[in-house]
C-alpha cells in the first residue's frame, strides 16, 4: 500500500469515518470487494471496526455448499495478508503506534471485526494520558 502523508489528523467522527473508509478500501484492494458497511468505534487505546456483508460471491457459494470452515480459514489468511496495510493505515490516521491487531469473522450474519490496540498516549508532562482498556 502506498503511504499517504496526512497534514492534519482527523478527529472524532471524522477519524472514525476515515478508518472505516481505509479498512473498506484495503479489503477491496485485496479481495476485489470490500464490505458494504463499516462502523468504527474509538475508545481510549482501542479501535474496533465492525464490517458487514464482507463475503465475495465465491465465498457465499462455498458457504451455501457447506464449506463454512473453509471460508473462515480463507478469511483468516486474507486478514493475515492485509494486516500490515491495516496497521499502517490506522497508525497514519491516528498518529499512534498499533501494539496489537486482532481480526475475526462470522458467517451468518456476514460480519467481521477488526480490533486495534494503540500505544497509550502521554500527556504534556510525559505521564500517561490514557491507559490500557479497563484501567483508571
Q: Does the residue 102 lie in any domain?
A: yes
Run of H or E residues at 115: strand 111-118
Specify if 84 maps to a domain: yes
Position 131 in a domain: no
71 lies in some domain? yes
Confirm whether 132 is domain-assigned: no
Query: Which residues on neighbouring strands pair with residue 43, listed in sequence order?
Result: 46
Contact 118, 96 (CB under 8 A): yes
Count Cβ atoms below 10 Å from residue 129 Cβ, excluding itself: 12
CATH number at residue 49: 3.30.980
pLDDT in tens, 49-61: 999 999 999 999 9
The answer to whether residues 5 and 26 touch, using CB atoms and an 8 Å cutoff, is: no
Question: pLDDT by residue (tens digit) across 65-119?
Answer: 999 999 999 999 989 999 999 999 999 999 999 999 999 999 999 999 999 999 9
Question: What's the DSSP call for residue 107?
Answer: T
Domain range for 100:
12-118
Domain count, the chain: 1
Is pTM beyond 0.85 here? no
**If phi over 0 gives left and psi between -120 and 50 gives alpha, with beta otherwise, what is residue 34?**
beta
Which residues touch 121 (CB under 8 Å, ≥6 apart)? 45, 96, 128, 129, 130
Q: Where are the alpha helices (DSSP H) in the chain?
A: 12-31, 57-64, 68-94
| Residue 95 included in any domain | yes
Does residue 126 lie within any of the structural domains? no
Q: Is residue 134 part of a domain?
A: no
Amino acid at each position: 500500500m502506498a503511504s499517504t502523508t496526512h497534514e492534519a489528523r482527523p478527529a472524532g467522527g471524522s477519524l472514525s469515518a476515515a478508518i472505516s473508509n481505509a479498512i473498506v478500501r484495503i479489503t477491496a484492494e485485496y479481495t476485489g470487494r470490500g464490505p458494504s458497511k463499516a462502523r468504527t468505534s474509538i475508545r481510549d487505546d482501542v479501535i474496533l471496526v465492525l464490517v458487514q456483508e464482507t463475503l465475495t460471491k465465491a465465498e457465499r457459494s462455498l458457504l451455501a455448499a457447506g464449506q463454512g470452515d473453509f471460508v473462515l480459514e480463507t478469511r483468516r489468511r486474507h486478514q493475515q495478508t492485509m494486516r500490515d496495510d491495516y496497521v499502517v493505515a490506522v497508525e497514519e490516521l491516528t498518529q499512534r503506534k498499533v501494539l496489537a491487531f486482532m481480526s475475526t469473522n462470522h458467517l451468518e450474519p456476514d460480519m467481521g471485526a477488526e480490533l486495534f490496540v494503540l500505544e497509550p498516549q502521554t500527556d504534556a508532562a510525559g505521564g500517561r494520558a490514557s491507559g490500557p482498556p479497563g484501567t483508571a
